[in-house]
Copies of this chain bind each other. A is one copy, B any other.
Amino acid sequence: AVDGRRLWETIHETAAFGGTPKGGVRRLTLTDEDRQVRDWFRAACEALGCTVTIDDMGNMFARRSGRRDDVAPIAFGSHLDTQPTGGKFDGVLGVLAGLEVLRTLHDAGYETSAPLELVNWTNEEGSRFAPAMLASGVFAGAIAKETALAQTDREGATFGAELDRIGYRGEEPCGARKFSSFFELHIEQGPILQDEDKMIGVVEAVQGIRWYELTLVGQDAHSGATPMRLRRDALVGAARVVAAVDRIGRARPDCVGTVGLMEVRPNSRNVSPGEVFLTVDFRSPDDANVAAMESDLMAAVAEIVSDLGLEGAPVRIWDQPATIFDAECVAAVEAAAEAFGQGSRRMVSGAGHDAAYVARVAPTAMIFVPCKDGISHNEAESSTLEQCAAGAQVLLDAVLRYDRR
């Protein structure tokens, strides 16, 4: 059995890397804070006798040998990067529960049949470099490595240069490594488990996601001297786009639409803004609904720009169709959840996860545990010691069940 308190203390130990006054974590990918937690993680795995390999996307793999080193490893893990105002659990729980699994096996002297590999994926959040799950996307062959390395943050720094800067561009070509299966534990980031008073979510699918970028161009104009009828105000246009995305997200069941990022230029109190950059995020478990939202968006923006004399059209920069996880991996999670005995249910993930990309190249499933009121991507994100420990225990059990198979 895992040591829940040790896991809890480890979570709080790493939360100091980028910890915020409000109890959250700001540890954007490939920043100095990310380097600190990576150095810590490497040392923690090596202390258990694991071999740590870094690939050329900065993904970290800590390998524990099994009785048979000729078979592909059973892998598990998640990510240690966070949102700009993120919590202590999103991603972190999956990696540190994986570490707790390795520590438990180490303490018990338990030898698995297959080797085990604990993974820390780079840039899962997609806050600093778009899209999310960039490095597991390259691992799965869904995103070209050159494209990924050339992605820039909002200040213009490239992913590749930042990887070099923090010293985490490894030698191994990303994707060369093979898994026999992959398990990812994560907080739910939604309210369903709490509402139904269940401890474990057996995740059988991840909804489809599309991301867009839109630059609206009008004309900078003096806020006092320019009559309303002569303006081409890009922010008035952007406001209508935000309203349209919200309306489109509500128009069909089980859909969501969000404008999360917006930059106004020149962003001066007495200038009617000539340019606005914004992003759109659409999701649904039903890919047809995602496509329908895209059509609605294109139509809405075309009308807005023509009404207001602006220029600009949304550019789709990411399309990840809905993912169905592997039946056998899901069954292993379900059996482990039932054995744990504190209630479980099958569910679809609203958030994207590295597991959704890994599912393209290895049998994969996920485990969810509740988080308070479903709040995530928020410094107030919170799960209990018991919930974290339950997730780690089910992860351990699912891995051992899959190993014994």
Instruction: Pick from A143-151, A217-225, A291-299 the stretch touching chain B.
Output: A217-225
Query: Could you give, for residues 218-252 of chain A, a 1 whenever the CB lies within 8 Å of some chain B CB and a 0 otherwise?
Result: 01111111111010010110111011001001100
- How distant is the Cα of A283 from the Cα of B222 in the complex, in angstroms? 12
Q: Does B376 lie within 8 Å of A221, measured CB to CB? A: yes
- Write out the residue numbers on chain B whose beta carbons fall within 8 Å of the beta carbon of A267: 84, 260-263
- Write out the residue numbers on chain B whose beta carbons fall within 8 Å of the beta carbon of A339: none
Q: Does B207 lie within 8 Å of A224, measured CB to CB? A: yes
- Write out the residue numbers on chain B whose beta carbons fall within 8 Å of the beta carbon of A227: 190, 256
Q: Does B242 lie within 8 Å of A256, measured CB to CB? A: no
- Write out the residue numbers on chain B whose beta carbons fall within 8 Å of the beta carbon of A235: 242, 259-260, 262
Does A341 touch B at the CB level, under 8 Å? Answer: no
Look across to chain B and name the residue whose beta carbon is closest to the beta carbon of A128: B268
Q: Does A223 lie within 8 Å of B269, measured CB to CB? A: no
- How distant is the Cα of A293 from the Cα of B272 in the complex, in angstroms? 17
Number of this chain's copies in the assembly equals: 2
Q: Does B239 lie within 8 Å of A243, measured CB to CB? A: yes
- Write out the residue numbers on chain B whose beta carbons fall within 8 Å of the beta carbon of A329: none
Partner among B127, B188, B221, B262 whose Cβ is within 8 Å of the Cβ of A377: B221
Closest beta carbon of chain B to A82's beta carbon, Å = 10
- How distant is the Cα of A347 from the Cα of B327 in the complex, in angstroms? 77
- Write out the residue numbers on chain B whose beta carbons fall within 8 Å of the beta carbon of A378: 219-222, 271, 274
Q: Does A127 lie within 8 Å of B269, measured CB to CB? A: yes
Q: Does B270 lie within 8 Å of A377, measured CB to CB? A: yes
- Write out the residue numbers on chain B whose beta carbons fall within 8 Å of the beta carbon of A257: 228
Q: Does A220 lie within 8 Å of B261, measured CB to CB? A: no
Q: Does B269 lie within 8 Å of A126, measured CB to CB? A: yes
Does A105 touch B at the CB level, under 8 Å? Answer: no
Q: Does A236 lie within 8 Å of B228, measured CB to CB? A: no
Closest beta carbon of chain B to A124's beta carbon, Å = 10
Given A223-B256, A352-B224, verify A125-B270 contact (CB < 8 Å).
yes
Closest beta carbon of chain B to A215's beta carbon, Å = 15
Q: Does B83 lie within 8 Å of A266, measured CB to CB? A: yes
Q: Does B269 lie within 8 Å of A260, measured CB to CB? A: yes
Query: Could you give, for residues 361-374 of chain A, a 1 whenever the CB lies within 8 Å of some chain B CB and a 0 otherwise?
Result: 00000000000001
Q: Does A258 lie within 8 Å of B272, measured CB to CB? A: yes
Does A191 touch B at the CB level, under 8 Å? Answer: yes
Does A273 touch B at the CB level, under 8 Å? Answer: yes
Q: Does B269 lie within 8 Å of A279, measured CB to CB? A: yes
Look across to chain B and name the residue whose beta carbon is closest to the beta carbon of A280: B269
Q: Does B264 lie within 8 Å of A268, measured CB to CB? A: no
Q: Does A265 lie within 8 Å of B85, measured CB to CB? A: yes
Q: Does A222 lie within 8 Å of B84, measured CB to CB? A: no
Closest beta carbon of chain B to A123's beta carbon, Å = 12
Closest beta carbon of chain B to A268's beta carbon, Å = 4
Q: Does A377 lie within 8 Å of B271, measured CB to CB? A: yes
- Write out the residue numbers on chain B whose beta carbons fall within 8 Å of the beta carbon of A352: 224, 270
Kindly identify, within residues 100 to 148 of chain A, every residue whose CB is under 8 Å from any CB belonging to chain B. Answer: 125-127, 130, 132
Partner among B132, B226, B260 whose Cβ is within 8 Å of the Cβ of A272: B260
Q: List 22 A-B contacts (CB under 8 A).
A: A83-B270, A84-B266, A85-B220, A85-B274, A125-B268, A220-B379, A222-B351, A223-B256, A223-B258, A223-B281, A224-B349, A224-B350, A226-B256, A227-B256, A233-B258, A236-B243, A239-B239, A263-B267, A268-B377, A269-B279, A270-B281, A271-B378
A-B pairs, top 5 by smallest CB distance, nearest first, are A225-B350, A239-B242, A223-B258, A189-B225, A239-B239
Q: A188-B225, A207-B224 are in contact. List 16 more A-B contacts (CB 8 A).
A: A83-B270, A84-B266, A84-B267, A85-B266, A127-B266, A189-B226, A221-B375, A221-B377, A223-B258, A224-B350, A224-B352, A225-B350, A239-B239, A258-B270, A260-B272, A260-B273
